[in-house]
Amino acid sequence: MERGGPIVRVGWIGLGIMGRPMAENLRRASFPVVAYNRSATRLEAFVASGGRAAGSPREVAGLSDVVVTMVSDTADVEEVVFGANGAAAGIHAGSVVVDMSTISPRATREFARRLRERDVDYLDAPVSGGESGAIAATLSIMVGGEAAVFERCRPLFDALGKRVTHVGSVGSGQSTKLVNQVAVLGNLLATCEAIRLGAEAGLDLRKVIEAVGAGAGASWQLTNLGPKIIERDFAPGFPVRLARKDLRLILETAEDFCLPLPGVALVQQLFSAVAAIGWGDGGTQALIEVFDRLATKPQ
């Protein structure tokens, strides 16, 4: 493959809730995609719908101009890229690894450095918008890395999201995503406390969401998750277990900076309770259940 030439063949690693519809969107945009997934069931489903599979990340990399990873956590990215049959073992010089998972910014810079030694470029490109955004190709994508490499991969991002922002050098995408999650989860806590207080005061909560959502208390969390919170509909848009992983990454990153984030720390503690009462796979709005359990009076 010519260095700096157009991205054609896409290797895709990770066909979970987010990765599967994203890979399908690339196929729909006429990119030839070859995929790998750790669990065979999900890989077979991809093949059954007409997708092409490979037996390992290494094999995926050998067939691709760019390798996209969309897995859960830092250790998963390390495994699929640098593990025994990892992508790095099969990758061509001059190609690109694009990590769209949400992982550690510090580890991201280290991964980029290790790939640079093999003459492979790296972009961190985590996304926001949840499963619905992945399906509709309306994700917000925050990209860190060299501008030329970003431009080269832009057609791929354009097929996956609607707001694609190049935020800076390698690691900046992950840092921006963590900043995003501070806002998301902090606003969710405020939303749950506001709604529970309104419920205790006997207010019409739909009217409250409308009134508060029109002013200085407005937030995406209130408008979009508020109605689900009122109905105690905990179907996952963004699951608690991934929110807990993001909270851990935020606090680890802040600790590196000696930056105290007491609000995030509180949210993290409360999400331990959400998981403890059985909502690890539920949506983050299940946080209201903690307040319900703490404040429900005996009959």
Active site residue 177: yes
Of residues 22 through 51, those in contact with a second copy by CB under 8 A are: none
What are the phi and psi torsion angles at 72 (to 5°)? -85, -50
Say how many residues touch a second copy, by CB under 8 A.
Answer: 72
What are the phi and psi torsion angles at 19 (to 5°)? -65, -40
Q: Do residues 235 and 283 touch, judged by C-beta distance below 8 A?
A: yes
Of residues 51 through 90, those in contact with a second copy by CB under 8 A are: none
Of residues 168 through 187, those in contact with a second copy by CB under 8 A are: 168, 171-172, 175-176, 178-187
Q: Which of 189, 242, 249, 274 binds a second copy (CB under 8 A)?
A: 189
- Written as six digits, the tokens of 178 are 């963590």
What dihedral angle (degrees, nearest 10) is formed by the CA atoms of 74, 80, 85, 87? Answer: -120
* Residue window 141-160: x/- pattern of binding to a second copy, with contact defined by CB under 8 A: -x------------------
| Residue placing its CB nearer to a second copy in the complex, 149 or 178 | 178
CB of 65 to a second copy, least distance (A): 27
Q: Which of 20, 196, 244, 245 binds a second copy (CB under 8 A)?
A: 196
- Characterize 83-102 residue by residue with b for buried, 16 or more Cβ atoms within 10 angstroms of its Cβ, and e for exposed: bebbbbbbbbeebbbbbbbb
Of residues 242 through 281, those in contact with a second copy by CB under 8 A are: 250, 253-254, 257-264, 266-267, 270
C-alpha 247/C-alpha 289 separation (Å) is 19
| Residue placing its CB nearer to a second copy in the complex, 79 or 110 | 110
> Residue type for 224, please?
N
Q: Do residues 105 and 253 touch, judged by C-beta distance below 8 A?
A: yes
CB of 243 to a second copy, least distance (A): 11
| Active site positions, annotated | 177
